[in-house]
Amino acid sequence: MREGSEIVQTFISTIEGFAEKLYWITPQKVRITDIVEIFIITFLFYHVLVWIKGTRAWMLFKGIVVILLFILVAAVFQMNTILWLASSMVNVALTALAVIFQPELRKALDQLGRKKFVTALFDFGMSQDSGRFSDRTINELVKASFEMGKVKTGALIVVEQDIVLTEYERTGIELDSLLTSQLLINIFEKNTPLHDGAIIVRGDRVVAATCYLPLSDSMAISKELGTRHRAAIGISEVSDSLTIIVSEETGAVSVAKTGQIFRDLDQDGLREHLKIIQNAESEQSRLQLLQRRLKDAKKRRKNTD
């Protein structure tokens, strides 16, 4: 009996000690300013993540997270050499991050200065259209590409996916027009004002024309390919976009994505590449719908029980 009371007393003492350590989060210590502070930090953290996800910095951010997880594992298992190297490189890493993210940081500060704070406060990313293109757009892209190929009209068509290409969109002329084969053919017609450079497609619309793209530095690119193909590979290296290239010399249609180029495609080949990135969004949407249905089914079973 005495042993049982001692165990209970020990348990109570442990709980009291734990409560004393967490006393700072008890309701008596929470103030209005604390609630406002939490709201501000949450608001800023959310918008930073939304901004990062919409740029090529998202891929770099995921790489940094992997490194941090590796350091966490090293800390758990007390790998002192790795921890010493990590602590020694902190200052260098901070400087490197400032250099790597310099374009993104400058653009973010510029957008912060232009954005209306009240509008941004209640904008939780719902206004951004992240939908993919329709089957009609695929048919129009295929039709325009091979019509231009027949007459050897050079073209560069960037199809945006998850990473928003705003920084390249700003280098061109804003259009925001419904994508049709006639529009594409007219844009790339020789000696017209908009034929030089690339167009950017977002969803079912052409958002900009005469855009400048980064050239790839890869030494593996064939010498037969010109600046248009090198630019298509370059944009695919820094984003998840798909770029359609129509050669001005041969009229051949090619596709660049994930740093690779697929040359001399026929209509079925081009349509297949477009279907793959279209269905990637459809599969993700179906998976999210299935997850929501499973959660709803679990809730109904709990309510029934």
Q: Which pLDDT score is estimated for 230? A: 92
* 25 assigned to some structural domain: no
pLDDT tens-digit series, residues 193-229: 888 899 999 989 999 999 999 998 888 888 888 889 9
Residues 6+ apart with CB under 8 A from 267: 142, 146
169 plus 73 within the same structural domain: no
pLDDT of residue 246: 95
Question: Is the same domain home to 256 and 175?
Answer: yes
pLDDT at 224: 83
* Residue 12 counted as domain residue: no
Distance CA 201, CA 156 (A): 11
What is the per-residue pLDDT for 130? Answer: 43
In a domain, 274, yes or no: yes
pTM (2 d.p.): 0.60
CATH number of the domain at 230, please.
3.40.1700.10
User: Is the same domain home to 189 and 254?
Assistant: yes
Residues of the chain under the 50 pLDDT cut: 1, 4, 8, 23, 117-118, 120-121, 124-131, 283
* 133 vs 204: CA distance, rounded Å: 5
**Among the three residues 87, 121, 155, which one is the final residue of a domain in this structure?**
121
Residue 299 belongs to some domain of the structure: no
Whether 20 is covered by a domain: the verdict is no
Task: Determine how many CB atoms are found less than 10 A away from the CB of residue 207.
Answer: 21
Question: Cα separation of 173 and 180, whole Å?
Answer: 18
pLDDT score recorded for residue 281: 53
Q: Residue 14: inside a domain, yes or no?
A: no
**Among 90, 121, 152, which residue terminates a domain?**
121
- Structure tokens, 38: 């939490």
pLDDT of residue 103: 65
Dihedral sign for Cα 170, 171, 174, 179, please. negative
d(CA 197, CA 177): 17
Same domain, 203 and 170: yes
- Does any domain span residue 174? yes
Question: Mean pLDDT for the chain?
Answer: 78
In a domain, 296, yes or no: no
User: Which pLDDT score is estimated for 71?
Assistant: 82
Its domain, for residue 117, covers: 31-121
188 and 71 in one domain?
Answer: no
Residues 197 and 276 in one domain: yes
Please tell me whether residues 149 and 86 are part of one structural domain: no
pLDDT in tens, 118-151: 454 455 444 444 447 889 999 999 999 999 999 9
Query: DSSP string covering 32-89, please?
Result: HHHHHHHHHHHHHHHHHHHHHHTSTHHHHHHHHHHHHHHHHHHHHTT-HHHHHHHHHT
